[in-house]
Copies of this chain bind each other. A is one copy, B any other.
Amino acid sequence: MGERATLAMVAKRAGVSISAVSRVFTPGASASAQTAEKVRKAAAELDYRPNVLARAMVSGKSRIIGLVVAYLDNYFYPQALEILSNALQERGYHVLIFMASQTAGNIDAVVDEILDYQVDGIVAASVALGSDLTARCKSAGVPVVLFNRGQDDESLSSVMSDNCAGGRKVAEFLLAGGHERLGYIAGWEGASTQRDREFGFVSGLKEAGLSLAARAIGDFSQDKAKAAAREMFDKAEPPDAVFVANDHMAFAVMDVLRFELGLSVPGDVSVVGYDDVPLAAWPAYNLTTVRQAANRMVAETVAMLIEQIEQKDAIPRKVTIDAPLMVRGSARVPKGWKI
């Protein structure tokens, strides 16, 4: 029954005007110590808390950040979400979630819905935006940061690991380990991360005069990755090493190799992934992988987003963080490999 207290109720109880109350709660504004005290007392008695939505209307700042995310089953994303939400929460922002499910066309609808909420900014995780959408966000004055995905558009910021260099490191590592028939299981081919990782990997091979011995597509899905692994390894002269475009699929591939095909990892075949999700370090998989530091990526994302929200002249940039190889037990380690 006790309706939520409003500014007007506090004002009446404190015997001052509405604006006086508002100013007491506005850091920069002028208010006498006497007024401030009366107001605080009244506010406390009424349990007053400002209505964020009303404030958003007049100020034009909702302190809501829209997050578009395609899937949460790859553990990299929940992890990033947790860090992101905490970081934004500390700065007084909050995350409104939008699942952009598989069907490609619905990203448009989702972004429209996001804009309806007057968000102050958008984080698009593992999702690409069409040029019309980008334009729409731009004209609405809403900054967008692409998380773990790149796109050429000038008005878009993005944060990625150095996928190309990462892929190359994997090639160097596997070649140094004496592998000769290298396979690659690709992610969804529309993704920049997939393309860059593969490009780096293949470039690394090329420099050694080699090329891919086998290639299959996993689309970042575990089921498809399993099918890809079966196809790639259930035949004569299979690869002796495989680079899988992310950890999520790499686990599925390892399961197929070990438990369906009876191959030993890394005895018969070396497996390397990408992301370094926590599970990669668990002894059951002990996966050699390229590390994308979610905390650093999120920190950059938040910094850029806030910068663009709070100073309108800030220009979008593309940030790349380095991606070290985490050497573990799922791939043969070259003799004398440093660290």
Interface on A for B, CB 8 Å cutoff?
Answer: 1-2, 4, 47, 49-54, 56-57, 62, 64, 71-73, 75, 77-79, 81-82, 85-86, 89, 94-99, 101, 112-113, 115-118, 136, 139-140, 251, 254-255, 258-259, 278-279, 282-285
Contact = CB atoms under 8 A, between A and B. Distances in A.
Given A73-B79, A89-B113, A94-B97, 6 more contacts: A53-B62, A75-B78, A78-B78, A89-B99, A96-B97, A251-B284
A117 to B, nearest CB: 5
Counted per complex, copies of this chain come to 2
A136 B47 CA distance: 10
B85 A99 contact: yes
B116 A282 contact: no
Of A2, A53, A73, most B-chain CB atoms within 10 Å: A53
A208 B36 CA distance: 68
- Lowest 3 A-B CB distances belong to which pairs? A78-B78, A259-B283, A72-B82
Contact of A53 (B47, B57, B86): B57
A51 B95 contact: no
Nearest to A116: B52
B96 A95 contact: yes
A86 B77 CA distance: 16
Contacts of A278: 73
A79 B72 CA distance: 7
A69 to B, nearest CB: 9
